[in-house]
A and B are shown apart, each in its own frame.
Chain A
Amino acid sequence: MSTVDTQKRYGTGSRGSDSIQSSAVRFSGDSGDGMQVVGEMFATCAALSGAYLHTFPDYPAEIRAPAGTLPGVSAFQIHFGSQDVETQGDWVDTLVAMNPAALRVNIDEVAEGGLLLVNTGAFTEDNLSRADYTDSPLDALSASGRYHTVFVNINQRVLDALKGMDFPTSDKIRCKNFFALGLTCRLYGLSIDYPRDWISNKWGNKPALALANETALEAGYTHAEKLEVRLPLLCVDRALLPDGIYRKISGNEAMALGLIAGSEKSWREIVCGSYPITPATPILEELAQHKHFMVKTVQAEDEISAIGIAIGASYAGHLGVTSTSGPGLCLKSEGLGLAVMTELPLVVIDVMRAGPSTGLPTKTEQADLFMALFGRHGESPVPVLAARSPSDCFRTAFEAVQVAVMCRTPVIVLSDASIGNGSEQWRVPTPDDLPEIEIDPMKRGESYKPYERDPVTGARRLGLPGRPGFEHRIGGLEKDEKGQISQDPANHEHMVEMRARKVQAITRFIPPTEVAGAREGDLLVVGWGGSYGAISLAVKHLHRDGYSVGHVHLRYLHPLPSDLGQIITCFKNVLVPELNQGQLAMVLRAAYLRDVQTFSRMQGRPFRISEIRDRMETLLKQSSRGG
């Protein structure tokens, strides 16, 4: 049975075919309902229609919670449109809920006036009670007038469409995700050619299965016509996309590809020692898929061994890499200290999650900044870079390799759960766009002092095992320039300074800092990492509204860009929104002796644009009143 709440407003076309700038769609259902698959596919359909894209999967923390329960809800959100899609969307514009639990978990995220597409077929008494509903909430929802509602008994529709096919009923119902996909595509006026191709490729050797899913897809698509709504119901603007080759890419994939590109351009094969940890594991998995780039991955016995293996590989002339999340970074501190002391290239990736300890292991946070900057004993400077978006992980990882290899230092790259798992469209660079990473290898017969430094970069040269004439000993003990153990007080102080200076010298590679919006004025918002989308849009909107607000987003958190101090002086106020209790703010205060405001959120989710904008407005009002 399908009931359509035609809601007069559709008839009047107040939404109807009027185009909108962007829209956030969330597919949600039980973890066995295939929401991730159709979510990904809807994203591709949207991209192929010419939209910008940002997606975010929201998996349950449990691997398989009981079917139909609240912890078992799995969701996939797609934010797409012509512009301003740098975030996953503050609110959900269209919620596809395949069962009561999915409705309950996600309803609070749906924007007022948003569309609810509900599979009433799953609203059985059992499912309702699993989702803690005593009665069906559907009538109340449509009566509230808060949402547009499209209620379809998808289970029944799919059975009808697959009538006569030789499958058990339970298997037929499993095609319901494709029905929902077809229906949603039609409501948005998107072509279903892509999922159709995908289905026939995926189940090419099981034609019956392919046919069933394709039939369900098409049934959903045509079912929209029976809904008595104007089609397309929601029409999202197309973007003016620069020509090129595009793909969808997640932060973790981009990170792995950035490392591979760095490896190719520096002529160093990757050895990645890693230990599985949410949400960083996909980086190790992705690297393991790229053995034809001579990538060697080792799933180490623990985080400590993982970094040890990477250090050993770097010592022997390869590109040592290790990926982890916060708890793992704690365990790698000691290894990082060794890499600082022995001045070996090394890339450590931390895909941050909410902590401390196990915390919220699948949720995002930016609270590892202090750990990355300072989490080692002794004076132990390590360059720290942060990626701002899924596709930006590529460039950040590549630059991390550049810095590590050229300056012979460990580098920490910060990503987070939302950009690691999230994905967006990416205009694929060609390898020629990327610079070669040149180093100056020891030449045969040259005399070798392990800690002799390049006058410009301060980097030492590497005498690689296997090469005759450069035999030497390095290690955690302080050495003098010739590589001899030295307890000399003056030498230690000298070496501490040299290591700090070497890292500081990286500022010469950092391109001039970009300021978006106003270049001077009332308020500068400084951000880092995954909050880029929300901050940049909040600043963009307020700047458009006439406020003199600017935005700086830092890729280099250590060393800080040399022009940052100057930029900060051009603004009356500085605001730092962070998913922590003000870590970058504290660093900026210390570095520039400025009163920096903190805006902190620690709810395991990315910033919303609106909350940053509100905060900025408050500050702007306060300061205009004060001044």
Chain B
Amino acid sequence: MATVLTRKDFVAPVSIRWCPGCGDFAILNTLQNILPTLGIPKENIVIVSGIGCSSRLPYYMDTYGFHTIHGRAPAVATGIKIANPRLSVWVITGDGDGLSIGGNHLIHAIRRNMDLNILLFNNRIYGLTKGQYSPTSARGKITKTSPEGSLDNPVNPCCLALAAEATFVARTIDTQPKHMAEVFTAAARHRGTSFVEIFQNCVTFNNKAWEPISGRDVRDEQLLFLAQGKPLVFGKARNKGIRLNGLAPEIVPLGESATSEKDLLVHDAFQANPAYAYLMSQLSYPDFPSPVGVLRNIERPTYERELRRQVARVAQERGRGDLERALRGHEYWTVERMGREITAAATARPKLGYESRIMDEQIRDLIQIVRDPLTAALRTKLKDIYEKYAHKRAKRVEANEPLSSAIPRFKVFNVSYLMVMDKGKLIGILTERDVVIKLTLHAVDPNTTLAGDLMSPELDLLSENHTVGDAINVLSASGKRYIPLLLESGKYGVVTTKQILWFIHESMVEARQLEKIR
């Protein structure tokens, strides 16, 4: 039931409060245009903003939106994305919000490579507070708080993002809707933090701030449109290019007698080395045309994915947390008879041999009678377990091979046992334990002793149709850790204690989930 979304689905039914003519309108429009094309369900889109003119944007989008506090949007967005990585999270910020009060959060969201799309509206002024110089205002900028001109050196947003090792850095302009749409789409597609600087015009407090770069009459000479795999060419007549002279870029004329395109730098946003992207971020007015487009686009694992993976791995290794056990901790003691009997957990550990004997006697009956999901799981056929862990096939050794050729296999295959074969038939299992004990205590010679001499012979093989319960029986009665299987195909396999423990563990988790569902 994939509903086709249109631009209309993203327009919130409210009146927009930006000044007429503000560049923000074009950006909003573009966003509303591209979101329906991304194939993301509307409910999965969350727009998070800080404070400032730009940060009002979420209110105008009919999606989930969170208008947070000044500068903190990347932090809040980080929490959202960690909680629910399926969401497509957009951060809307401005030069003051993102680079001044929230500079730290911006840097850290980027270096973590959170999968966020950060759109920074750069209008080089504080708009909402009515015209004070911002961290991107040019030096000497005269504003209400800098009547003699600002003394601050401006921040270069793309350069800052690159310094934080951003995996995606782009720049676009509010007056170029098509270019904006391309850049936004590329940002949305990129996995990891996508940082997009948008030259935005504040018509009220900093009108025409970008005019020298993107004005209709100069833009051909002052903008450098980046295209993947294409040489860096610009100019109305496309007669200028950028070439590297040593480590310094220079503008060269193109044409019959002059340099050919082959000598020019070729745009490649996919380079692992950030030097080229940095170089692009440094090209600036008035000496160079300003590059727009995707400066850098590389892959690196995202934070939320890695975090999820860690959590999943720990949950798998340790089993889904059990509150009762966690509350007890590792070191606890039981008190009985009003404190007359106190037993430390460490000494209360049951004797394993005893346990397995009991299990051996009882398990067969239990499996037949008890209907709880976990016990029911013990009726599972070994075939299933075997197939489930089929990625780790048992390795073989011939009975007449010397130990010296068997031992390296433990290491090479990273296994702790080998099936010992004789004329295609499995006759026993050779474990690391067999080898260690015999080699050290009995000092046998590995070059002359054969695998068949040291193995534990296996006379009764289980079939695939035996159950997990049967296997546990055999394991507990024999004290062995591996059970060879004769497969229906006539081949051999091995089921290990480890696999059975895994299986039990998974069944417990399933049983627990079933319980919860009920």
> Do A and B belong to a common assembly?
yes
Further pairs besides A244-B335, A304-B75: 11, Cβ < 8 Å: A240-B338, A241-B342, A296-B83, A305-B105, A311-B68, A312-B78, A312-B80, A316-B84, A317-B84, A471-B42, A471-B64
Checking A293, A314, A476 against B69 with a beta-carbon cut-off of 8 angstroms, the contacting residue is: A476
A258 to chain B, nearest CB (A): 10
Is A138 interfacial (CB-CB < 8 Å)?
Answer: no
> Per-position contact with A for B282-317: 1 when CB-CB < 8 Å, else 0?
000000000000000000000000011011001101
Interface contact B44-A475, CB-CB below 8 Å: no
Q: For residues 410 through 446 of chain A, which have their beta carbon under 8 Å from a beta carbon of chain B?
A: 428-431
Bound-complex Cα distance A335 to B66 (A): 13
Q: Which residue from A247, A295, A466 sits with its C-beta under 8 Å from B328?
A: A247
Q: Establish whether residues B84 and A47, one from each chain, have CB atoms under 8 Å apart when the complex forms.
A: no
B79 touches A467 (CB 8 A): no
Residue contact B68 to A316, C-beta cutoff 8 Å: no
Interface contact A301-B79, CB-CB below 8 Å: no
- Asked if A146 is at the interface (CB within 8 A of a chain B CB), the reply is no
For residue A267, give the distance in angstroms from its CB to the closest CB of chain B.
9
Known pairs A47-B333, A305-B75, A465-B46; A473 contacts B12 (CB<8 A):
yes
**Does B488 have its Cβ within 8 Å of any Cβ on chain A?**
no
Find the residue from A248, A316, A470 having the highest chain B CB count within 10 A.
Answer: A316
**Among candidates A316, A430, A431, A473, residue contacting B79 with C-beta atoms closer than 8 Å:** A316
Nearest B residue (CB) for A49: B342
Cross-chain contact of A246 among B46, B67, B86, B335 (Cβ < 8 A):
B335
User: Measured between alpha carbons, how far is A376 from B69 in the docked complex, in Å?
Assistant: 14
Contacts of A50 in B (CB 8 A): 335, 339-340, 342
16 contacts between A and B (CB under 8 A): A48-B344, A50-B339, A50-B342, A244-B335, A292-B314, A294-B311, A296-B83, A308-B68, A308-B74, A308-B105, A309-B78, A313-B82, A317-B83, A430-B327, A431-B327, A468-B43
Contacting pair A247 B79 (CB below 8 A)? no
Residues B333 and A245 in contact, CB atoms below 8 Å apart? yes
Nearest 3 interchain pairs by C-beta: A312-B79, A475-B67, A308-B75
Contact across chains for B83 and A260 when beta carbons are under 8 A apart? no
Interface-side segment among B197-205, B318-326, B435-443, B475-483: B318-326
Within A192-247, the residues touching B (CB, 8 Å) are 193-194, 197-198, 201, 238-247
A465 and B84: CB pair below 8 A?
A: yes
Q: Is A257 an interface residue (CB 8 A)?
A: yes
Q: Say yes or no: is A338 at the interface (Cβ < 8 Å to chain B).
A: yes
Residue interface bits A314-352, CB-to-B below 8 A is 1, else 0 = 111110100000000000001101100010000000000
A484: CB under 8 A from chain B? yes
Contacts of B332 in A (CB 8 A): 245-247, 428
CB closest chain-B residue, reference A261? B323
B505 to chain A, nearest CB (A): 12
Count of B interface residues, CB-CB < 8 Å: 70
CB of A472 closer than 8 Å to a CB of B: yes
Whether A238 pairs with B327 at a CB distance below 8 angstroms is: no
- A313, B321: Cβ atoms under 8 Å? no
Contact A315 B327 (CB under 8 A): no
Chain A residue nearest to B73 (CB atoms) is A308
Residues of B close to A308: CB separation below 8 A: 68, 72, 74-76, 78-79, 105
Question: In the complex, how many angstroms separate the beta carbon of B514 from the nearest chain A beta carbon?
Answer: 16
Question: What's the least CB distance linking A269 to chain B, in Å?
Answer: 8
Q: Is the CB of A465 within 8 A of B68?
A: no
Whether B334 contacts A305 by the Cβ 8 Å rule is no
Whether B333 and A315, one on each chain, are in contact in the complex, defined by CB atoms closer than 8 angstroms, is no
In this complex, which of A304, A314, A484 has the most chain B Cβ atoms within 10 angstroms of its Cβ? A304
- Give, as a whole number of angstroms, the nearest-CB distance from B116 to chain A: 11
Is B356 interfacial (CB 8 A cutoff)? Answer: no
Number of interface residues of A (CB under 8 A): 82
Residues of B within 8 A of A310 (CB): 79
Which residues of A463-519 are within 8 A (CB) of B? 463, 465-477, 484-485
Cβ of B58 within 8 Å of any chain A Cβ, yes or no, is yes
Q: A240-B339, A466-B86 are in contact. Are A264 and B76 (CB under 8 A)?
A: no
- CB-defined contacts of B317 to chain A, threshold 8 Å: 292
Q: How far apart are the CA atoms of A238 and B341 in the complex, in Å?
A: 12
On chain A, the residues within 8 Å of B105 by CB distance are 301, 304-305, 308
Are A264 and B323 touching (Cβ within 8 A)?
yes
Given A271-B79, A315-B66, A245 and B43 contact (CB-CB distance below 8 Å)? no
**Residues B92-109 near A (CB distance < 8 A):** 104-105, 107-108
The answer to whether the Cβ of A576 comes within 8 Å of any Cβ in the partner chain is no
Is B336 part of the binding interface, using a Cβ–Cβ cutoff of 8 Å? yes
Q: Say yes or no for A44: interface residue by CB 8 A criterion.
A: yes
B274 within 8 A of A: no
Q: Does B346 contact A (CB under 8 A)?
A: yes
Report if A65 contacts B (CB, 8 A).
no
Instruction: Name the distance in Å between B353's Cβ and chain A's nearest Cβ.
Output: 20
B347 CB-CB contact with A under 8 Å: yes
CA gap between A322 and B12 in the complex, in Å: 33
B125 to chain A, nearest CB (A): 22
Tell me how far the C-beta of B34 lies from the nearest C-beta in chain A, rounded to whole angstroms.
18
Which residue on chain A has the smallest CB distance to residue B42? A471
- Does chain A have a CB within 8 A of B248? no
- In the complex, A273 has a CB within 8 A of chain B: yes
Chain A 266-307, CB-CB to B under 8 Å as 1, else 0, gives 000101010000000000000000111111101011101111
Check if A466 sits within 8 Å of B44, measured CB to CB. yes
- Do the beta carbons of B307 and A296 come within 8 Å of each other? yes
Contact A338 B69 (CB under 8 A): yes
CA distance A47 to B318 in the complex (A): 29
- Judge whether A102 is part of the interface by a CB distance below 8 angstroms: no
Q: Is B329 an interface residue, CB under 8 A from the partner? A: yes
CB-nearest residue of chain A to B72 = A308
Which chain A residue shows the least CB distance to B324? A431
Query: Contacts A430-B324, A466-B84 known; A475 to B66 CB distance under 8 Å?
Result: yes
A393 to chain B, nearest CB (A): 13
Find out whether the CB atom of A292 lies under 8 angstroms from the CB atom of B41.
no
Give the complex CA separation of A619 and B320 in angstroms: 56
Smallest beta-carbon distance B364→chain A, Å = 32
| Complex CA–CA separation, A465 to B51 (angstroms) | 21
Question: In the complex, are the beta carbons of A300 and B337 less than 8 A apart?
Answer: no
Per-position binary interface string of chain A over residues 449-475, scored 1 when its CB falls under 8 Å from any chain B CB and 0 otherwise: 000000000000001011111111111
Is the Cβ of B76 less than 8 Å from the Cβ of A242? Answer: no
Give the residues from 146 to 198 in chain B that come closer than 8 angstroms, CB to CB, to chain A: none
- Given A240-B339, A316-B84, check contact A468 B42 (CB 8 Å): yes
CB of A249 within 8 Å of the partner chain: yes
- With A245-B333, A273-B79 already in contact, the answer to whether A197 and B68 are too (CB < 8 A) is no
Contact of A465 among B43, B307, B328, B347 (CB under 8 A): B43
User: Are A476 and B321 in contact (CB-based, < 8 A)?
Assistant: no
